[in-house]
Structures are given as C-alpha cells and as structure tokens.
Amino acid sequence: MSALSVIDARKNRNNTAATVFDRNRTIRRTEARGLSDPLSEVRPSGEILGRSAALTRVLHQMHMVAGLDVNVLILGESGTGKELIARAIHQGSSRAQMPFIKVNCGSIPRDLFESEFFGHVRGAYTGAIRDRIGRFQLADCGTLFLDEVGEIPLELQSKLLRVLQEGEFERVGDETTRYVNVRVVAATNRDLMKEAAEGRFRCDLFYRLCVFPIKTPPLRQRPEDIADLAEHFVRQACARFQLPEPLLLPSELERAQRYSWPGNVRELQNVIERAVILAGGAPLKLDLRGFEPTESSQHCVCVESDEVIPEREWRNRERANILGALRRTGFRVSGKGGAAELLGVNPGTLTSRLKALGIDRREFQR
C-alpha cells in the first residue's frame, strides 16, 4: 500500500470515529441514565469536605485538570474518597452532561473482563444469550472510572492500551471495529510503578493512565478535617435513620483525631453511624475500644497528637494491628465476628489493606 493510501485510510477512519462520536452522543446519554447495573451507577458527586493543607492541594490539582481532556490516575489508600474526586473531575469537565460510568475492576471475574469492558455478541461464549454493550461504549463521549485498576489481568492490558491510544475495539465474538471517545480516570491503592517493575503491570499502560497523577492523603494525615467530616456524617446518619441529632462532644472529637483510622473516611462514617444508632438521645460515644490500647490488646495503635511517626513505622504498626485482629477472629475477614467487623471497616477495605501490606492469611494460618 502506498503512503498516500495509508494517509487516506487514516483520514477515513478518523472521519468515521468523529461521525460515531456525534451520532452516539444522545444515545449514550439515554443508555447511561437507564442503567440498573451497580457497576455503572450514575449519581451526583457528594461533597468533598475538609480544610486541611493536604486536602487543599488535592482540590487544587483536581480543579487544574478537570477541564483538560487527559487521563487521570488517582492514588491512595482505600476509603480516602478516590471516587468522589473522579466524579468531581467529570462534573468539572466539558463531558459533564455525558455518562460517568464506574467499573470496579476488583469485583469482575477474571474471565469476564473483556466482555465487561468491550461487550460481546450473542453466542460469543456459553451464557452469552444476547448482545451486550461494554463499559467503554456506554461511556462514549463521557468519562470511564476504572476503580482498582491494578486488578486488571495482564493479558487484557494490551487491549485496554489499544482503546486508550486508538479509541477502537471489537466486542467479544465480533469482527466489527467500533470507535469511542472516552476520558479515563483510574484509581488504585497499589504501587503501579513497583507492579510494572515486577512484570505484573504494563509500563506503557501505566504511563498512558498516569498522564496526571493525584495522590489522596489518608485521614491520619488530615486530622483537622475530622470535625467537619464527623458533623456531616452525624447529620447524614440522622436523616437516613430518622433519628434526633445527638451532641458530638469535643472530647470525642479529640479521641477521633488521635486515632489512626486505617479504614480512612469510610471507617469514620461507619463509626459515626454506629454511634448515632446507639446514642438514644445521649451525646455520641465513638466506639474505638477495639483499637485503643487495653490490658488485653497489644496490637492496637493509639497515636498522641504531638507524636510524629515515620511512614515505615506507621505501616509496621498498622500491619501488627491488622494481624492482631485476624488472630483474634481466627483469620476470618468478613461476616459476623470477622476481622473487618472488629476493626470497624468494610470487608473490601480490609482485603485491599491486606494486599497493600503483603499479608497472606494462608501463610499466617499455617
């Protein structure tokens, strides 16, 4: 094929992609609003609360990049509000009136990733009884939020890279090439640079996703925001449960500011909701007994307000705290009497922390 023919082919492909972009704009808006699948739930962003310097830096970065049509990688521990930031970036962009599609990569079975991302046609595999639109096509003209992006299997990453670079893909079992215009905002609590160095994540995909990185601070690094967050969660819980709003004493806020919050903002919300339910009209009493030092607990962390702890030592303490909870619960993570319940965090949050800290329950059980 001559050079002129190649140029003409590329022009035709780009013209086709532009036509698809315009034609699908209204269709994608309608499809996204009609979704019932929780993986692609569309709802307005909640308020990002806080006045700390750490959070202010994040908000500044978020506002700088929202209007620029580039991919964003949000880094940080579980429960730090990465999805809120992703939604805020979408709502501050030129795509705000188009779909915001969320995909939790950590909850997709390994053999269904390609179908979830790109869709499939009827008969593509056993159980494919009808055509299905993938998440990239549903997010056409809008934003696709890839939560826990580090969980994507290595063998699929080349296909993800292709759609990010070229805007084209094929559904499973189909030979028709489709074109989309999607902005990707990804999030992870993993060190993707380390994953890439060890061959578990493609370097070229990492750099394609990480055009603009934003690192969310853990709650322990922004204790001055706890009062605002706690008051907000109190009001929210009282409205949700239709209960009178109890008093939140300064002494309880001080206890909360000294606590390490391994589950971050999500854990704070859970503790507040539990306290509101148990209050019965009395002032709130935050249940942190499972995590503060007692005669029977040697694995808990309580940090004084004037103590400065290096990150390595902090992670060692957190690791010891989680191992202590696992031992006390027979190495059960979820369910009644499990480690997640003891720690006051979501089981998914605890599972992510186990991965981040390199804790393999089976090794410790043996």
Decide: helix, strand or coil at residue 275. Answer: helix
Average pLDDT of 80-106? 95
CA dist 288 and 274 (Å) reads: 11
CA dist 322 and 339 (Å) reads: 8
Average pLDDT of 178-186? 96
The helices-and-strands tally (H runs, E runs) of the chain is 15, 9
Joined together, the tokens standing for residue 340 give 């997640």
Joined together, the tokens standing for residue 192 give 């993707």
Tell me the chain's radius of gyration from C-alpha atoms.
23
DSSP codes of every residue in 170-190 = E-BT---EEE---EEEEEESS
Average pLDDT of 80-105? 95
Q: How confident is the model at residue 35 (pLDDT cuts 50, 70, 90)?
A: very low
pTM of the model: 0.68
Phi, psi of 177 (to 5 degrees): -85, 130
CA dist 66 and 77 (Å) reads: 22
Mean pLDDT taken over the chain: 80
Phi, psi of 217 (to 5 degrees): -80, 140
pLDDT at 290: 47
Stretch among 140-144, 163-167, 275-279, 294-298 having the lowest mean pLDDT = 294-298
> In this model, does residue 212 exceed pLDDT 70?
yes
> In this model, does residue 181 exceed pLDDT 80?
yes
Q: Determine which helix (DSSP H) or strand (DSSP E) holds 362, and give its type and residue range.
A: helix 361-365
Q: How confident is the model at residue 352 (pLDDT cuts 50, 70, 90)?
A: confident
Stretch among 150-154, 253-257, 313-317, 344-348 having the lowest mean pLDDT = 313-317
Q: How confident is the model at residue 362 (pLDDT cuts 50, 70, 90)?
A: low
CA dist 335 and 357 (Å) reads: 22
Amino acid at 39: L
Q: How confident is the model at residue 215 (pLDDT cuts 50, 70, 90)?
A: very high
Domains of the chain: 3-215 (3.40.50.300), 222-288 (1.10.8.60), 293-361 (1.10.10)
pLDDT at 302: 39
Average pLDDT of 108-114? 87
CA dist 177 and 162 (Å) reads: 12
pLDDT tens by residue, 231-270: 999 999 999 989 999 999 999 999 999 998 988 999 999 9
> In this model, does residue 15 exceed pLDDT 90?
no
Average pLDDT of 147-153? 93
pLDDT tens by residue, 41-62: 333 345 788 889 999 999 999 9
Instruction: Give strand pairing partners of 132.
Output: 120
